[in-house]
Amino acid sequence: MTKDAASETIWRPGVTLELLRARLKNTLAEHIGIELVELGPDYLSGTMRVDHRTCQPMRLLHGGASVVLAETIGSLAANAANHDPARHFVGQEINANHLRPVPEGRSVTGVARPVHIGRSSQVWNIEIRNEKDQLVCVSRLTTAAVPAARPEP
């Protein structure tokens, strides 16, 4: 990344894909197999397999698993875009529209992009797509600033 490209990013200094991946250790996201894939200048993407951990009884992607993927990458992105170490951003509201079923054995990829990055709240749009790049779920996450219990690494 060139110096000019680095200055165009929304992320606070020092945020890397490796740092964000480390934040998933010992969390629900790790338990259901969410993997972070790419950190672009204004987006974060992650994948998830549709398997015994993420499917519903009809052997299709569980809507709740889609919401977990959306909130995981949206919340990570919100905190990575936060430049104030005295605050963290936490989920305040999330909605999701499930548009297409995904059968067991496939994968989905979610991409979180900001709609609004403010001092006390952020809004993120998350699109989840299947392996054919078809839209599976659209989600919107609103996060709220709270005092940091401990500074972000």
The set of catalytic residues is: 71
SS3 per residue for 6-63: HHCCCCCCCCCHHHHHHHCCCCHHHHCCCEEEEECCCCEEEEEECCCCCECCCCEECH
**Eight-state DSSP code of residue 103:** B
